[in-house]
Structure 1
Amino acid sequence: MNDTPGWASPGSAPSDGQQPDPSGAAEPTDRPVPAQPADQPGQAGQAPQGPGPQWSKDQPPPAQWSAPSGPTVPGQAPPPPPAGPGWGTQPPGGHGPAGHGPAGPGGYGPPGPYGGWGSGWGGPPPAAKPGIIPLRPLGVGEILDGAVSTMRTYWRTVLGISLTVAVLTEIIVVLFQGLVLDDSSTQALNDPSATLSELSRAMSDALLNSTVVFVISLVGTVIATALLTTVTSRAVLGKPVTIGEAWRDARPQILKLFGLICLLLLITAGIVTAGTLPGILITASGSTGPGVALTVLGVIGAGVVALWLMIRFSLASPALMLEKQGIKKAMSRSTKLVQGTWWRIFGIQLLATIIANVVASIIVIPFTFLAAALSGDGITGWLNSGSSGLGWTFLMVSGIGAVIGSMITFPITAGVTVLLYIDQRIRREALDLELARAAGVQGYGPNAPGTTPGS
């Protein structure tokens, strides 16, 4: 199998000692002609190779002897051999040797003295593209374009899933913030005269509320990711899928996906806690300076380790959904696929996240300021009070902006992750052959016409 699956290189030249094929491939001019014994008569249509008793003694010098293709002039170099179909050429109206395609601009190179490989190869044929991506290793732009193409081609399904999940999630968040969230308990955070107990209570309430909102958003993200993974995998094959079909395919794995994401979050929290706990304990014992320095170093070190692990396990989600694996097996598959390409996957994931968040911020920020302007205190009062005193008008208007932003971020982040997973499997496991067969591509793979076995 080649390092670049999805196409096969042309066949190699015949090995030494083999006869040329019946199509009359020309031999290189620098190949020596084996001498025949002097006492062996020449074959019909060929000149004798040495003097014999039946020939005249006046023979040309051996260095000037050539095949009897015409009159020879002593002292003149032999003419070049006649052009014939070689490795890179083809007789007019015919076909080259089996497995070697046509010559010229559309073939493996222009005709040369030997018509061959050394005269230039036009490159591999284009990869099949039944869906949103070509079936070969992908570049960064192709991965990002594939995620966007999924949104553009199957916009009804993609936006339907994103809109439904985002609306349901945001309704729960708005109701929680409007009915359950106690603004009075968090107002102490903006009060310079608040006591230590009031600040501690306010911080605890704010942390609890943020955790609840985060869990609600996490559930919505898990559902959207599961459904969009199915849509993207079908889009690679060029096959549309409805929301109902995506739900039926993803439903058995949703709980496992939620468990996987929760496990990754617990691992991250454990690493951060282990990195910051020594510094916090030293600070609490009274050594403020060393404790703060150790805490900062612990946060930096824990962040690096957590980031390394998160990228290492970043392909576990599509592995779990598409391979129907368990949590442990999906994490092991992600580790295997990411091995050796950590920086590439990190860069693509980071770029996709930045693009998605920038686009979402362009939409969310204007809605946030509009919500603040329509609320009772106006933009100035909202900036001074922060998150305190949020009214229903502010929550609903800003929620609309959050829904629109989620409709953009969900498909991009999920699509890039799935395409990264497919790209890594194409590079390592020749998944493009399986995808081509699933898409019904004819003549694709090692047995396709014009390929040589073992290439």
Structure 2
Amino acid sequence: MNDSPGWATPGPSPSDDERPGAPADRPVSGDPKWSSEQPPPGQWTSPSPGQTPPPPGPQQPPQGQGWGPYAGQYGQNAQYGGYPGGPGQWGQPPAAKPGVIPLRPLGLGEILDGAVATMRSHWRSILPITLVVATVVQVLSVLTQKYAMADLAVSPDAGATLDEAVNDLVVALGALVAVGFIAALGGIFATAMLTMIYSRAVLGTTSTVSAAWREARPQLLRLLGLTFLLGIGAVLLVTALIMPGILAESPGLALVGGLVAAPLFTWLWIKFSLASPALMLEKSTVFKALGRSSKLVQGTWWRIFGITVLTQIITGIVSAIIVWPLTIVGMAAFGGGLSGMEDGTASTAWGALILSGIGSIIAQTIVMPILSGVTVLLYVDQRIRREGLDLELARAAGIENYGTAGG
């Protein structure tokens, strides 16, 4: 977004029950100002001469109309495709939906549907980003597995010395770390650009790859710093809790440290899960983004945890369905079958590696935007619930008088 008003960091956040932008003339129960404005008893106007008074009994509005400032909005369900409330009946009109999600608090299905709908409608922008990143990462991974991991025999060679075995292990681990670093960089670039595409999809506008890159580029270094800060923090946390048991050569103490590290790591993971979209869309710094994520997640940790874990499970199943059949076929056809699987040569055969790499490219191309999209839409949902972001987004989308008495 180009510094649109919808994504700016708000001032003091209202509570979940407060809705910014509500009309000032809307009656509030128990409000002394409202009650003082009512006419004193006995001063209600009478019908003018010649005017027929209304018949006794409850009055119904004309068909297609409603009472009060929302006249003409309730009961007109034809234009909303059969929304509850037929002609002449009460029925709440649906929220505005300029883009892939309605501008109101979202449910689980709407968040997942919004992520998938953006992939379908904006695939020309999303597909090149994820395909390029997935291809680069998998090419490097295939080369690493072929030339670095192939030197590690499944069964130690009786003639190999301890130094040679350690050197082979160090080389293989170094190659894996390098591939992981490249994958992390690719994920950062993809996340930054996909965040911009999803933010425009919420407003119903499209974004090209070049436009997404221009909008994401100023925040890339900060996103890089945020990602590595979280990664280093996770490593230090796990190390600090497990290392005492390792140094004391006590498996039980190390196990206890691991059991403590797992829930603490999970809690921090969810607590800071919205830091990335906060940093990119609010143009904030690393530590401000961490604070914003903590504030938005507060009080809804379990809900965000459930949605995030469910998304991880769904994308993991999709990846497995795509990758594993190709991997098994590659190992059976090009890796020497069962004998190759037994001696470890099947996994490093060119045919098996290429088929597995193709499956991984397809899976990452599909999964990456879903994960990024769910995170962005969770951020949008939390700001709608806590800060009335739907009003700002409606104005940014060009919807006039949204959230007022006449809108």
TM-score (norm: length of structure 2): 0.81
User: Any gaps of 5 or more consecutive residues in structure 2?
Assistant: 1-13, 78-88
1:59-78 aligned within 5 A: none
Pair member with larger Rg: 1
**What CA distance in whole angstroms lies between the structure 1 residues aligned with 2:74 and 2:46?**
18
TM-superposed CA distance for 1:171, in Å, is 2.4
1:164 aligns with one of 132, 135, 138: 132
Name the structure 2 match of 1:151.
119
Q: Does 1:425 align with 2:387?
A: no
TM-superposed CA distance for 1:219, in Å, is 1.3
One-letter code aligned to 2:190: A
TM-superposed CA distance for 1:101, in Å, is 2.8
Q: Does 1:175 align with 2:143?
A: yes
TM-superposed CA distance for 1:393, in Å, is 2.6
**1:164–1:99 distance in 2 versus 1, CA, 3 Å:** same
Q: Percent identity?
A: 46
**What CA distance in whole angstroms lies between the structure 2 residues aligned with 1:251 and 1:152?**
25
One-letter code aligned to 1:101: A
Name the structure 2 match of 1:110.
none
Name the structure 2 match of 1:18.
39
**1:382–1:320 distance in 2 versus 1, CA, 3 Å:** farther
> 8 Å contact 2:101–2:114 — kept in the other structure?
yes
1:191 aligns with one of 140, 156, 159: 156
Q: Does 1:317 align with 2:282?
A: no
**What CA distance in whole angstroms lies between the structure 1 residues aligned with 2:209 and 2:223?**
18
**What CA distance in whole angstroms lies between the structure 1 residues aligned with 2:218 and 2:76?**
49
Q: Which has the larger displacement, 126-135 or 192-201?
A: 192-201
1:122-161 aligned within 5 A: 122=90, 124-161=92-129
Structure 2 counterpart SS, 1:413: helix
Name the structure 2 match of 1:219.
185
User: Any gaps of 5 or more consecutive residues in structure 1?
Assistant: 26-43, 45-68, 70-80, 108-120, 284-290, 451-455
One-letter code aligned to 1:229: T
Name the structure 1 match of 2:248.
282
**What CA distance in whole angstroms lies between the structure 1 residues aligned with 2:198 and 2:324?**
29
**What CA distance in whole angstroms lies between the structure 1 residues aligned with 2:40 and 2:149?**
90
**What CA distance in whole angstroms lies between the structure 2 residues aligned with 1:405 and 1:23?**
72
**1:378–1:100 distance in 2 versus 1, CA, 3 Å:** same
One-letter code aligned to 1:402: S
> 8 Å contact 2:69–2:406 — kept in the other structure?
yes
Name the structure 2 match of 1:442.
400
Name the structure 2 match of 1:3.
17
**What CA distance in whole angstroms lies between the structure 2 residues aligned with 1:367 and 1:18?**
78
More helix by share: 2
**1:207–1:176 distance in 2 versus 1, CA, 3 Å:** closer
Give CA deviations for 1:71-104 in whole Å, capped at 9, x if unaligned: xxxxxxxxxx82264xxx43x4896664253698
**What CA distance in whole angstroms lies between the structure 2 residues aligned with 1:155 and 1:236?**
15
TM-superposed CA distance for 1:105, in Å, is 5.0
Structure 2 counterpart SS, 1:274: helix
> 8 Å contact 2:103–2:390 — kept in the other structure?
yes
**What CA distance in whole angstroms lies between the structure 1 residues aligned with 2:101 and 2:253?**
48
Name the structure 2 match of 1:235.
201
Structure scoring higher RCO (CA < 8 A, sep ≥ 6) equals 2
1:239-250 aligned within 5 A: 239-250=205-216
**1:22–1:196 distance in 2 versus 1, CA, 3 Å:** farther
TM-score (norm: length of structure 1): 0.73
Structure 2 counterpart SS, 1:135: coil
Aligned length: 371
Name the structure 1 match of 2:348.
390
TM-superposed CA distance for 1:401, in Å, is 0.8
2:371 aligns with one of 391, 407, 413: 413
**What CA distance in whole angstroms lies between the structure 1 residues aligned with 2:91 and 2:63?**
23
Q: Does 1:295 align with 2:254?
A: yes
Give CA deviations for 1:204-240 in whole Å, capped at 9, x if unaligned: 3443232122112111111111111111111000101
